[in-house]
Amino acid sequence: MEIKQKSTWEKVELGTCYYPEHWDKSLWEPDLLRMLEHGITTVRIAEFAWNLTEPEEGVYTFDFFDEFLDLAERVGMKVIFGTPTATPPAWLTEKYPEVLNARRDGVLYRHGTRRHYNYNSKKYQELSAKIVEQLGAHYGKRPCIVGWQIDNEFNCETQQFYSESDTIAFREFLQERYGSLEELNRAWGAVFWNQSYTDWAQVYVPRTTYGDGTNPHQWLDYIRFVSESTIRFCKLQSDILRKYIKPGDFITTNGMFGSVDNHRLTRDCLDVYTYDSYPNFAYVWGDPKHNNTLLDRKWSRHLMEVRSVCPHFGIMEQQAGAGGSVGMDAPAPKPGQMMLWAMQSIAHGADYVSFFRWRTATFGTEIYWHGLLDYDNLPNRKMDELKKLHARVEAIQEIAGSDYVAPLGLLKDYDNVFDSQVDAWHGKLVSASETELFVAAQLSHTPMDTVYLYEGTSLEELKKYRVLVLPHGEIMTESKARLLENYVRQGGCLIVGARTGQKDIDGHCVMAPVPGLLASLTQSSVKEFTWIGPGDDPVPMEWNGRSLETGLFNEVLTAAGEDAKVLARYNGDIWYTGEPALIETKVGDGKVFHFGGTFTRGTVSALLDYLGMAEPFGELAQIPAECEIAVRRKGEKEYLIVLNYGKKPQEIFLKQPMVDLDNRCDVEGTVVLGSYETKVYRIKG
């Protein structure tokens, strides 16, 4: 997959989300001037404002945003203009109810919130195309506009679409994928429970069925279909906008949600990917003990995913205040956290950080989603922090465009991502292992990338990583197996976990020893397997005198080749005690590890130690587990960013001379980071 490597922004810039339609016009100018004073150079506008440009079908009015854009041009504010298709107007949904999304039992989702449409309604596509055409033609050449946002957060709110248009489009999708009902019946294993289809008219998107026994192969194809539908709807708009935008202006969309191949969405439709980062959700959804999932630091995992789509990305919505719609409560960011979260985004590759939102709405569903300013519009500590962030960003500008450096890669592909949404076995394994892998990598300061495998992924892309982990790649294809084998032969190190190679592209289990297509590479096979039930004791494995928990699931392994060496064995009150749990096999210049469990913090850190991978930047600095590091590189220059997520001060020890970019001074040795403090250093080479 071709991924754009260059940044869209020449320097790191700050922005905010502004809703001119929510405020009296007399506030517009003071608002924009105040933003500029605080270092905000760009506003995103208009993404829900369909009625303001098409108050009735076919009647277009441009005055409202013309007036706003005139002002933006006068004061020197840049604008990202949103297409309004996330919120079809009442006149539209009333006249054409077929544009509405439906529940699985067919009941339509009515007007009254947002994202109530479906991607496949021909009528909605036609009306969306018309409004986008009008907006592009009218506003496309406005000098203040620098970019366009398509829709708002595709697949947020729901990733399931059950309207009649979806069924029609699903049939077309399947006809193209399989060509015949015979093939469809084969791929869906339709002979099971007598589900075979004899006419395309019998095929639907999943419908309300008894229990939760809907055909899993149908679900897998349905998610692939939702992904295609999302991309097609986005492309409909980007193709139109391309006719009108000025050279250099970008097209993006915001957020990162499931059931869509975000990489292909970006490649096919966008110039740059932008994410919406709300780390404070950790304090609403996080574990009550506040220590298991790294809370807000876990957003680095999302940013790692975003970086895989687009190494130099933007944050279209960066949390500024306490979050909460009506019905959700969350603590306010503590002093320093707003800056910390912005720096977290920047550390991972964001060159644009735009805060949600300028001022908290005084009406509507989001009266508790707090902006930079509160309802009273008075100066406050968030605005002070914004000012400090601006000064900071100016001080560290030289890091703009530098690349994040990670020696460790987490392998993924969309067939497996989608299958893990459908298959509870798969999903549970992936969720446990990816969390633990991330946490272990964070705590040992081992920067990690997510690396997506496509049919076209090149060996060079994989060779950038010393170690790649494919936790539970259940669906394996021949070309991916070949690529992974070449990576290992040419010196790479691959680690695979339980159930890898268990399934084929349709999600059928293979009739072969697991790890299936990878078995000749790993020279291992699975004799039997079991979940570790909630009533069972954890099962450890013994490795070099260490006893390490093997997680939720155990495969009893067999070494099946001369080069395969058993490294660790299960050891517990279980019938497979003494049997292999971890096998290392040397292949060509590299090696592959087959681990029979789900990854736990202990197993990951033992593997990283064994491979000499923990603290790969340990020669630069000694960092406590409470802090995250990011290393960025641009040509000869290398930077170290350190982020303290805790309230308690943390001491770090710089082992090499560095320049503190904020204070423009040389530092070495002990440095103390205060609550939520971050540091940016240029390493003096």
Which residues are catalytic, by number? Answer: 153, 317
Minimum CB separation from ligand GAL for residue 460, in Å?
Answer: 36
Pairing outcome for strands 678-683 and 637-644: antiparallel
Pairing outcome for strands 580-587 and 590-595: antiparallel
The 3-state secondary structure of 430-492, one letter per residue: HHHHHHHHHHHHHHCCCCEEEEECCCCCCHHHHHCCCEEEECCCCECCHHHHHHHHHHHHCCC
Count of beta carbons in the 10 Å neighbourhood of residue 420: 21
Contact 349, 399 (CB under 8 A): no
Please provide the size of the chain in residues.
685
Under DSSP, the state recorded for 321 is S
Distance CA 586, CA 581 (A): 17
Minimum CB separation from ligand GAL for residue 12, in Å?
Answer: 22
Distance CA 125, CA 118 (A): 9
Distance CA 322, CA 143 (A): 34
Residue nearer to ligand GAL on the CB measure, 111 or 130: 111
Q: In the bound complex, which residue of the shown chain has the CB atom lying closest to ligand GAL?
A: 369
Contact 613, 465 (CB under 8 A): no
Residue nearer to ligand GAL on the CB measure, 162 or 278: 278
Residue nearer to ligand GAL on the CB measure, 375 or 653: 375
Sign of CA dihedral 398, 402, 407, 408: positive
- Tokens standing for residue 344: 């977290």
Minimum CB separation from ligand GAL for residue 276, in Å?
Answer: 5
Residue nearer to ligand GAL on the CB measure, 8 or 253: 253
Minimum CB separation from ligand GAL for residue 467, in Å?
Answer: 34
Minimum CB separation from ligand GAL for residue 366, in Å?
Answer: 6
Minimum CB separation from ligand GAL for residue 185, in Å?
Answer: 40
DSSP readout, 326-385? TT---PPPPTTHHHHHHHHHHHHTEEEEEEE-SB--SSSTTTTS--SB-TT----HHHHH
Distance CA 17, CA 319 (A): 11
Under DSSP, the state recorded for 265 is H
Under DSSP, the state recorded for 295 is G
- Spacing of C-alpha 528 from chain mean position: 34
The contact set with ligand GAL (CB under 6 A) reads 152-153, 156, 276, 317, 356, 366, 369
Residue nearer to ligand GAL on the CB measure, 382 or 392: 382
Minimum CB separation from ligand GAL for residue 329, in Å?
Answer: 13
Residue nearer to ligand GAL on the CB measure, 113 or 208: 113
Residue type, 327: G
Residue nearer to ligand GAL on the CB measure, 156 or 203: 156
535-547: burial string, b at 16+ Cβ within 10 Å, e else: eeeebbbbbeeee
Residue nearer to ligand GAL on the CB measure, 152 or 524: 152
- The continuous run of DSSP H or E covering 218 comes out as helix 216-244
- Tokens standing for residue 503: 């399934």
Q: Can you tell me which residue has the tokens 């320049």? A: 659
Residue nearer to ligand GAL on the CB measure, 310 or 406: 310
- The continuous run of DSSP H or E covering 250 comes out as strand 250-252
Phi-psi region of 379 (alpha: psi -120 to 50; beta: other; left: phi over 0): beta
Residue nearer to ligand GAL on the CB measure, 51 or 215: 51
Distance CA 162, CA 160 (A): 7
Distance CA 642, CA 346 (A): 12
Contact 203, 184 (CB under 8 A): yes
Minimum CB separation from ligand GAL for residue 306, in Å?
Answer: 15
Residue nearer to ligand GAL on the CB measure, 317 or 415: 317
Minimum CB separation from ligand GAL for residue 156, in Å?
Answer: 6
Under 8 Å CB-to-CB from 211, ≥6 apart: which residues? none
- Phi then psi for 225, rounded to 5 degrees? -65, -40
Minimum CB separation from ligand GAL for residue 466, in Å?
Answer: 36
Minimum CB separation from ligand GAL for residue 316, in Å?
Answer: 8
Count of beta carbons in the 10 Å neighbourhood of residue 289: 7
Distance CA 556, CA 305 (A): 32
- Tokens standing for residue 523: 């020279």
Task: Tell me the β-bridge partners of 630.
Answer: 641
Contact 614, 446 (CB under 8 A): yes
Residue nearer to ligand GAL on the CB measure, 215 or 253: 253
Distance CA 574, CA 551 (A): 14
Under 8 Å CB-to-CB from 568, ≥6 apart: which residues? 541, 542, 543, 544, 548, 580, 581, 582
Minimum CB separation from ligand GAL for residue 571, in Å?
Answer: 47
